[in-house]
């Protein structure tokens, strides 16, 4: 019985340490470059356009930044390709017959506070690529562009993360 208590205590401490590391791993580095798309409104049409712009940007930014090693290098690549990024978005919006206009800005842009999966991301001005569609009054999408946290996996909201330690504890507690 003593061994079981020691084992459970060790597993519990390990689980607490891993949980703390995982939460800290979700913090955005100070030198990160963000990406944000703000739609004209929350109408289904405008949100659909936002999703298409988001997908276009994720693909093009992945191709541009896949070999960059630092935020300084990523910033340089983005600045050198702003015209191409603008052209790609413009072509997409023409194809979609979107007539509300848009603005692209790469620099320090305002981000409101956001809570996501129990973590609060502070409001503030962050280096970012910002695309504002029309009046920019709809619910936005944003992610970290560099390091590329959102360029490979497009939608992590549906992913379920499991803890091996939790599974072992659950299995052990069910075998009583």
Domain that holds residue 73: 29-146
The model's pTM: 0.70
Residues 13 and 89 in one domain: no
pLDDT tens column, 75-94: 999 999 999 999 999 999 99
Residues 49 and 85 in one domain: yes
> 113: number of CA atoms within 13 Å, CB side?
5
pLDDT at 107 over 90: yes
Q: Is 153 within a domain?
A: no
For residue 81, is the peptide bond before it cis, meaning its omega torsion is within 30 degrees of 0? Answer: no
Residues 122 and 38 in one domain: yes
Residue with tokens 């280096």: 127
pLDDT tens column, 3-29: 776 655 556 565 554 444 344 445 778
Q: Is 154 within a domain?
A: no
Q: Domain total for the chain?
A: 2
Residues 77 and 18 in one domain: no
The pLDDT confidence band at residue 153, using thresholds 50, 70 and 90, is very low
Residues 49 and 107 in one domain: yes
Residues 13 and 93 in one domain: no
């Amino acid at each position: 019985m003593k061994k079981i208590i020691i084992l459970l205590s060790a597993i519990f401490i390990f689980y607490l340490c891993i949980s703390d590391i995982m939460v800290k791993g979700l913090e955005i580095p100070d030198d990160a470059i963000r990406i944000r798309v703000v739609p004209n409104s929350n109408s289904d049409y405008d949100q659909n356009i936002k999703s298409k712009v988001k997908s276009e940007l994720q693909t093009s930014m992945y191709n541009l930044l896949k070999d960059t090693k630092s935020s300084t290098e990523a910033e340089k690549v983005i600045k050198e390709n702003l015209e191409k990024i603008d052209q790609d978005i413009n072509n997409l919006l023409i194809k979609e017959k979107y007539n509300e206009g848009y603005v692209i800005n790469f620099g320090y842009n305002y981000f409101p506070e956001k809570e996501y999966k129990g973590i609060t991301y502070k409001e503030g001005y962050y280096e970012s690529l910002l695309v504002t569609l029309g009046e920019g009054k709809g619910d936005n999408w944003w992610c970290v562009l560099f390091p590329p946290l959102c360029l490979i996996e497009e939608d992590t909201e549906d992913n379920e993360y499991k803890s091996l330690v939790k599974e072992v504890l659950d299995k052990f507690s069910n075998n009583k």
